[in-house]
Structure 1
Amino acid sequence: MSNATRQSSAAARERLEALTDNSSVDTSALAAQLLAVTDLLDREAGLRGTLTDPGIEGQRKADLVAALFRGKIDAEALDLVSGLVRSRWSRARDLTHTCEQLAFLAEIIGAERSDALDDVEDELFRFGRIVSGSVELRAALSDRRAPAGAKAELVHSLLGSRVNPVTDRLIVRLVTQPRGRSLDAGIDSLTKLAAARRNRVVAVVVSAVPLSDQQKQRLGASLAKIYGRQVHLNLDVDPSVLGGVSVRVGDEVITGTIADRLDEAARRMAG
């Protein structure tokens, strides 16, 4: 990500956070309208190019946005989109990507308001594990030839009424509008966005058996000391590790499993 795009994205997030400090703002409606704008910009390359053209004054681009969207989206969404087109972008698609990210962040803020963000993070992780464990399901959800409506219905049938509506909307979006990303990458990006909202990191923890509440608390406290921030634990059980715990934080893996120790012993014997 270039410096121009990084600065513009950060400024857009700040505007969204300031806007949603007002509890009267409907975050789900705001997200839906930002996604509608994202889809239009994805379809219309000419418009996308015009709105990111550095040779056109920012206010002129904001006036064009107002003419296109006034009466079609709420004032809050229009204000955010106008701010986006006034900013500078390294690539035209950076504008579209940021607009979608603002929609995702609006949904996350809505979940946080209702004290459901922990549930949403856990549900996203669980769904990702279900998909990664089934070749057939992953193929069905990733099939570009399948109608978006059919894939959305498949998601609804898998999730049922057990999950938070925010989780349902986010996953349906990732499945029906992948925009060149894998489902795994999309879910990972959402969990990181949610963690960043509360200035914490996400740790994927794999153990041979479910951890007790005491073990989870102890592990969370230890990781918080290492990383200097609160750590959200995404927990998974895999009997193949044979005992112990494996922890992944970003690209860093901390292993302490019996299987790893056996592998290490085998490598030493072979050497």
Structure 2
Amino acid sequence: MAADQFSGSRQSSESLAALRSELAETITAADLAVADELFTALDALDGSAALRRTLTDPAREPEARAGVVQSLFSGKAQPATVSILQAAVSQRWSAERDLGDAVEVLAVDVAAAKAERGGLQGLEELEGALLNFRRVIEDSHEVQQALTDRQAPAASKQKLAARLSPQATAEARLLIDRAVTAPRGLRPSALIEKFAEQIAARQQRWIAQVTVAKDLSSSYLEKLSASLDKYFGRELKLDVVVDPTVVGGIRVQVGDEVVDSTVASRINSLNRSIGR
């Protein structure tokens, strides 16, 4: 689930947003094993109410909660995994489950970041693999029954999932296996959809939505594309929208970052200034 889809309260949502910002570099550099270890840690959280209480207790200092993580996972998980978990328990969470939800988001972030090393195409392939698997599940009542059977071994569900998604990348395989073996109260297809939505949100970092008053020439688009790639530090895909209401100039949005030089924007700024 993406940050804006986080099921927790405002406090927990803010904590997750801060956490993802703080850990951006760590997540980008992490390998896929870190995502797998985060899911393992999530299983430990989901399986122990006492552990959840200990790691979300606001009466305990953040350092004390981080120390518990160190004692539990040091030597059993990669240093990057331990540092991510320590950062997570150092935040304030409104409910015990919110910590687990945040760890799940971070695990998907790591898998997405690994796929992202192949650029936008890598993320698109990951999202496509997840959505294709979701369609396969929803098209077969028998598959749905097999994947939601509580008596069926996890290994059997993984084997079935692998047979239904033979072309899945390592990142997709990890997320698919997670969804069919530990959906955390959801249907596997619903969890797959949440994973895909989170990955789709990450793709926006690679898409520049360009809003202009009139169509741009191909030569101008080439120059604009090169300038934006240099400015944002990565090869972006342009999505050009013609909107006469912008009056003139150009508005560019990449993820949450906006560069606006339109006349309409300057008029709005002037109006706000006059209104003060």
Q: Same fold (TM over 0.5)?
A: yes
**How many residues align structurally?**
207
Contact 2:66–2:87 at 8 Å: present in 1 too? Answer: yes
Q: Structure 1 counterpart of 2:139, which letter? A: G
Q: Structure 2 counterpart of 1:40, which letter? A: A
1:178 aligns with 2:189: no
1:96-150 deviation per Cα after TM superposition (whole angstroms, max 9, x unaligned): 1111111111001101112421111111111111111111111111112211111
1:99 aligns with 2:103: yes
1:157-190 deviation per Cα after TM superposition (whole angstroms, max 9, x unaligned): 1122x22121111111000001001223212211
Contact 2:127–2:199 at 8 Å: present in 1 too? Answer: yes
Q: Structure 1 counterpart of 2:25, which letter? A: A
Q: How far apart, CA to CA, are the structure 2 residues paired with 1:99 and 1:107?
A: 13
Q: Structure 2 counterpart of 1:49, which letter? A: R
Q: CA offset at residue 67 of structure 1?
A: 1.3
Pick aligned residue for 1:9 from 16, 31, 40: 16
Secondary structure (helix, strand or coil) at the match of 2:75 reads: coil
1:126 aligns with 2:155: no
Q: What's 1:206 paired with?
A: none
Q: CA offset at residue 225 of structure 1?
A: 6.7
Query: What pairs with 1:119-268 in structure 2 (closer than 5 Å)?
Result: 119-160=125-166, 162-199=167-204
Q: TM-score, normalised by structure 1?
A: 0.71
1:195-239 deviation per Cα after TM superposition (whole angstroms, max 9, x unaligned): 111327xxxxxxxxxxxxxxxxxxx969x679x978xxxxxxxxx
Question: Quick one: percent identity of the two aligned structures?
Answer: 35
Q: Structure 2 counterpart of 1:17, which letter? A: A
Q: Structure 2 counterpart of 1:18, which letter? A: E
Pick aligned residue for 2:89 from 65, 85, 88: 85
Query: What pairs with 1:23-38 in structure 2 (closer than 5 Å)?
Result: 25-26=30-31, 28-38=32-42
Q: Which runs of 5+ in 2 are unaligned?
A: 1-7, 206-237, 244-251, 255-276
Q: How far apart, CA to CA, are the structure 2 residues paired with 1:67 and 1:103?
A: 21
Q: Structure 1 counterpart of 2:128, which letter? A: D
Q: Structure 2 counterpart of 1:34, which letter? A: L
Q: CA offset at residue 73 of structure 1?
A: 1.1
Q: What's 1:252 paired with?
A: none
Q: How far apart, CA to CA, are the structure 2 residues paired with 1:132 and 1:171?
A: 14
Q: TM-score, normalised by structure 2?
A: 0.69
Contact 2:88–2:99 at 8 Å: present in 1 too? Answer: yes
Contact 1:52–1:88 at 8 Å: present in 2 too? Answer: yes
Contact 1:16–1:106 at 8 Å: present in 2 too? Answer: no
Contact 1:12–1:84 at 8 Å: present in 2 too? Answer: yes
Contact 1:15–1:80 at 8 Å: present in 2 too? Answer: no
Moved over 2 A (4+): none
Q: Structure 2 counterpart of 1:39, which letter? A: D
The alpha-carbon distance between structure 1 residues 225 and 152, as it changes in their structure 2 partners (threshold 3 A), is: farther
Contact 1:35–1:100 at 8 Å: present in 2 too? Answer: yes
- Superposed CA RMSD in Å reads 2.3
Q: Which runs of 5+ in 1 are unaligned?
A: 201-219, 231-271
- The more displaced of 110-119 and 94-103 is 110-119
Q: How far apart, CA to CA, are the structure 1 residues paired with 2:39 and 2:104?
A: 6
